[in-house]
Amino acid sequence: MTKEQVHARIVELAVIPAVRAANADDALFAAEAVSRGGLPIVELTMTVPKATELIAQLIKKHPKMLVGAGTVLDIETAKACLAAGAKFISSPGLDLDIVEFTVQSGVIAIPGALTPSEIIAATKAGADFVKIFPCSQLGGVDYLHALKRPFPNVAFVAAGGVNQQTAGKYLEAGATAVGIGEDLIPPRAVTIREAEWIEELARRYVHTVKYLRQPE
């Protein structure tokens, strides 16, 4: 999958599930459940034990799944993720070295940012998307909407506290995509291996995106 195809797929799906888990088995279970629910894309956070090995495993087992790396905090980790096959690199904050390395490697860069100055720096460095994080805790939908006015051409990913009730509002306010964590992958659902719970939540997010894109 080319960088352009990855970019288009993220825009199409508009939901990026963030997989955080206590171990690789839990993470694999969660990733497969959201995929069956209609979201064949995961941001596997580096807080998962042996995360880079799991990225490679997921890609091999599910070649049609779009697998990226999240919570990437340094160049060394970014390099390991790309070596494992990650199709995008996401961070909670702005590290220009990571952005520049990812861009030079021909992979989608999704750095975190919060202020206008950080957004400008991220876009100048070549970021493909800019993740506004933590979005809901610091201004929410109104803040995202305000950012779109001076930055109409920036592809924003709203993340941090986004849920079923607000996801559509963020997309309507101008977000290109939303990043969803526990509201899509409840830790309890993973613990008790209730795949249908996660699949149903995924289907609801898919429905939200389809509903918003219906012609009036």
- Per-residue model confidence as pLDDT tens digits over 51-84: 999 999 999 999 999 999 999 999 999 999 999 9
**Positions marked active-site:** 43, 131
Domain CATH for 118: 3.20.20.70
How many domains does the chain contain in total? 1
Distance linking the first and last C-alpha atoms of the chain: 33
Task: Return the pLDDT at 215.
Answer: 77
pLDDT-flagged residues of the chain (< 50) = none
Instruction: Let me know how long the chain is.
Output: 216
Task: Return the pLDDT at 211.
Answer: 94
- Domain encompassing residue 160: 3-212
- Position 29: which residue type? F
What counts of helices (H) and strands (E) characterise the chain? 10, 9
Task: Quote the pTM value.
Answer: 0.96
